[in-house]
Amino acid sequence: MPEDELSRSSPSNAGKSLVNGIKTNPASSSPKSSLSVPMGPPVYVDLAYIPNHCSGKNTDPEFFKRVRASYYVVSGNDAANGEPSRAVLDALLEGKSQWGENLQVTLIPTHDTEVTREWYQQTHEKQQELNIMVLASSSTVVMQDESFPACKIEF
């Protein structure tokens, strides 16, 4: 049994489940419902991978309000499963608009998809207003004196 399933089924977690690694009550099992986690200061990181291949299942504006990255990687390439999700890309705009500071953000899609192309074209003005740059999926990233294709980012 995978470790995350073990932690969900252990007696110490009886009556609770995990949503994005956060314990919740059964009544709030939906990732979109309010979690019992108090609001804290946002976390600033250089690079963040948008969870679940940019699927709308568990990423919303709250993620982008709390996790503020210079670079977000969008890896979804499965239109049948809603990856990447237009709602998640819109959530980036909504979350970033509430930062209160105009830090540069770069979005790195690892695949050229219809969803990302349409979103880019339809929201380009808003992206510019929010200081968001979207790299082409064939873009090159330079980190620590090393250059490589954006789709090769690994953790």
CB crowding 60-79: b at 16 or more within 10 Å, else e: bbbbbbebbbebbbbbbbee
18 CA to centre of own chain: 18
Going by pLDDT thresholds of 50, 70 and 90, the confidence category of residue 27 is very low
Contacts of 154 (CB under 8 A, 6+ apart): none
% of the chain residues with pLDDT over 90:
35
Interatomic CA distance for residues 12 and 105, integer angstroms: 40
Supply the pLDDT for residue 135.
85
- Residue where the block lists tokens 């004196």: 145
Q: Does position 125 have pLDDT exceeding 70, yes or no? A: yes
DSSP element (H, E) containing 139: none
Supply the pLDDT for residue 47.
92
Query: pLDDT digits over 53-83, tens only?
Result: 677 777 888 999 999 999 998 887 777 766 6
Of residues 57 and 50, more confidently modeled: 50
130 CA to centre of own chain: 17
Query: pLDDT digits over 86-121, tens only?
Result: 999 999 999 999 998 889 999 988 888 888 889 999
Interatomic CA distance for residues 18 and 28, integer angstroms: 10
Q: Are 56 and 89 in contact (CB under 8 A)?
A: no
Supply the pLDDT for residue 13.
45
Both tokens assigned to 51 = 């969870």
What's the mean pLDDT in 34-49? 79
What's the mean pLDDT in 41-51? 91
Sign of CA dihedral 5, 10, 15, 21: negative
Both tokens assigned to 73 = 């990687």
Listed by start position, the domains of the chain span: 43-149
Contacts of 15 (CB under 8 A, 6+ apart): 25, 26
What's the mean pLDDT in 22-33? 45
